Amino acid sequence: MTLIKSISGIRGTIGGNVGDNLTPIDAVKFASAYGTWIKQQRDKDNYRVVVGRDARISGEMIQNLVMNTLVGLGIHVIDLGLSTTPTVEVAVPMEHADGGIILTASHNPKQWNALKLLDAKGEFLNGEEGAKILKLAEGTDMTFADVDSLGKITINDAYIDLHIDEVLDMDLVNVEAIKKVNFKVVVDGVNSTGGIAIPLLLERLGVHPVKLFCEPNGQFPHNPEPLKEHLTDLSKAVVKEHADFGIVVDPDVDRLAFMDEKGEMFGEEYTLVACADYVLSKTKGNTVSNMSSTRALRDITEKHGGTYEASAVGEVNVVSLMKKNNAIIGGEGNGGIIYPELHYGRDALVGVALFLSLLAEKKMNVSDLRASYPNYYMSKKKIQLTPELDVDGILSTMEAKYAHENLTTIDGVKIDFSDSWVHLRKSNTEPIIRIYTEAPSQNEADALANKIISEIKDIANI
């Protein structure tokens, strides 16, 4: 199967051979490298790391391996148990911890799991820090604690509630307006921790949640990536329940997508557009998203008098550019909302609260809200990689082929045409080339993607 080592952590499929998959030995090795890196950051008597997981079947096993490895390094662990990625990110600074680990493979299927690594600010590691950990994992320069200096594990299962408290305390979350509307919302929690956190948040906001796949047992009822083709059950439930809209999150609750009252997708690209529209209407400022995200965010930002810029793909890259540009909101077009008032991390709970505030104040339904935004259509396709494929060579050939167009090469190759674009890049989390396109119609977006895929296959002779 697969083991992917990157600056943001280690991700792989459970079982199989050491070094080729995410086996117990690999989990211990990378946890040891991370713990060693934590201790290298500063010399102190006590080190603390927050650990939480999504509801994957392998989660408890991997978490126990990781926590006890940290204990063996003399590091104290705050065990959040079933949690969300943004909840762990919020918990790290609240606990004055030295870092955090989230056990989740995000949108990957159930056979996958991963160690996502955080720094003392509760933010993902940058490239330099991640590279140090990968290097440590390759060697044996790791010293474990003696028997009198072992760490301890402290269980704290209150952090989802504390996270919700922080969300409701944000200045722009209009709790009173939301409660007056008496929204009814269907929640697809993909049988992971979103099924815990999102209904709790909605209830605190006076919203009636209708739970769909909200049992956190790790048995994903559909492909966990929140795309239209995976959400037919949610679409039917929204219509059947006469709900105001539907919510779907990925297994670790950092991606968020909405479905309108007719059971049609709002578009995960437009999650950030809508939340940014609300925030920018209240606070003037700039925005950032990654290169694979819709142009609609640029349009909305400029409408409100702000400046938009695009980063390389990856949350750490978006956050870095947001800090540089003092962006007041940003994120990724996959439904990831980053709102620095709370923390620099994608957070579906923040997105839900901002979206509900926008709807409550505008007094309009979700389909009308979507119709009020610039209309772009995206196609998201991929080509499976095999070991013999020269991906860099393929991208270089495509770059040369389209050298006469507006090109950006900070992350793969992005080709900007007058009314459309295509972004080609090797995924950091899966053995694939991603081909994202955007155009004024779905047919044009699909046709552009298919044209590019055909050209890549001709180059690669596949």
Is residue 109 pLDDT above 60, yes or no?
yes
**Together in a domain, 121 and 237:** no
Helix spans in 337-439 (H): 348-362, 366-371, 391-401
**Together in a domain, 344 and 397:** no
Instruction: Tell me what the pLDDT averaged over the chain comes to.
Output: 95
Q: Which of 157, 183, 210 is the last residue of a domain?
A: 157
**Together in a domain, 367 and 389:** no
Helix spans in 205-328 (H): 232-240, 269-282, 296-303, 315-325
CA–CA distance, 173 with 288 (Å, rounded to integer): 21
Length in residues, the chain: 462
**Together in a domain, 396 and 295:** no
237 within 8 A of 186, measured Cβ to Cβ: yes
pLDDT-derived band at 261 (thresholds 50, 70, 90) equals very high
Instruction: Summarize the confidence of residues 148-171 as an average pLDDT.
Output: 98
CA–CA distance, 100 with 97 (Å, rounded to integer): 8
Tally of domains within the chain? 3
Chain position carrying tokens 């392998």 = 58
Segment 412-429, tens digit of pLDDT: 999 999 899 999 998 876
Q: Which of 157, 188, 218 is the last residue of a domain?
A: 157
Segment 435-460, tens digit of pLDDT: 999 999 999 999 999 999 999 988 88
User: How confident is the model at residue 432, as a pLDDT?
Assistant: 83
User: How confident is the model at residue 296, as a pLDDT?
Assistant: 95
Q: Which of 346, 371, 396 is the last residue of a domain?
A: 371
Q: Which of residues 140 and 371 earns the better pLDDT score? A: 371
Could you give the C-alpha distances from 201 to 160, 162, 330, 364, 404, in angstroms and in order? 9, 11, 22, 21, 50
Segment 364-400, tens digit of pLDDT: 999 999 999 999 999 989 988 777 788 889 999 999 9
412 within 8 A of 383, measured Cβ to Cβ: no
pLDDT-derived band at 139 (thresholds 50, 70, 90) equals confident
CA–CA distance, 76 with 66 (Å, rounded to integer): 12
Residue 317, number of CB atoms within 10 A of its CB: 21
User: How confident is the model at residue 195, as a pLDDT?
Assistant: 98
**Together in a domain, 329 and 428:** no
Q: Which domain holds residue 169?
A: 163-371
Instruction: Summarize the confidence of residues 170-189 as an average pLDDT.
Output: 98
- Listed in sequence order, the residues at least 6 apart from 248 whose beta carbon sits closer than 8 Å to its beta carbon are 187, 188, 190, 226, 231, 234, 256, 257, 258, 259
**Together in a domain, 236 and 362:** yes
User: How confident is the model at residue 426, as a pLDDT?
Assistant: 86
Catalytic residue (choose from 8, 58, 83, 106): 106
**Together in a domain, 21 and 126:** yes
**Together in a domain, 121 and 174:** no
Domain CATH code at residue 396: 3.30.310.50
**Residue percentage of the chain with pLDDT more than 90:** 88
222 within 8 A of 233, measured Cβ to Cβ: yes
User: How confident is the model at residue 142, as a pLDDT?
Assistant: 93
**Together in a domain, 279 and 220:** yes
CA–CA distance, 460 with 442 (Å, rounded to integer): 27
106 catalytic? Reply is yes
Is residue 317 pLDDT above 90, yes or no?
yes
**Together in a domain, 50 and 95:** yes
**Together in a domain, 106 and 167:** no
**Together in a domain, 171 and 131:** no
CA–CA distance, 261 with 263 (Å, rounded to integer): 6
pTM of the model: 0.93
Helix (H/G/I), strand (E/B), else coil: 119: coil
pLDDT-derived band at 430 (thresholds 50, 70, 90) equals confident
Segment 52-97, tens digit of pLDDT: 999 999 999 999 999 999 999 999 999 999 999 999 999 999 999 9
Pairing relationship of beta strands 47-53 and 75-82 according to DSSP bridges = parallel
- Give the pair of three-digit tokens for residue 96: 């004055």
Is residue 251 pLDDT above 90, yes or no?
yes
Domain CATH code at residue 239: 3.40.120.10
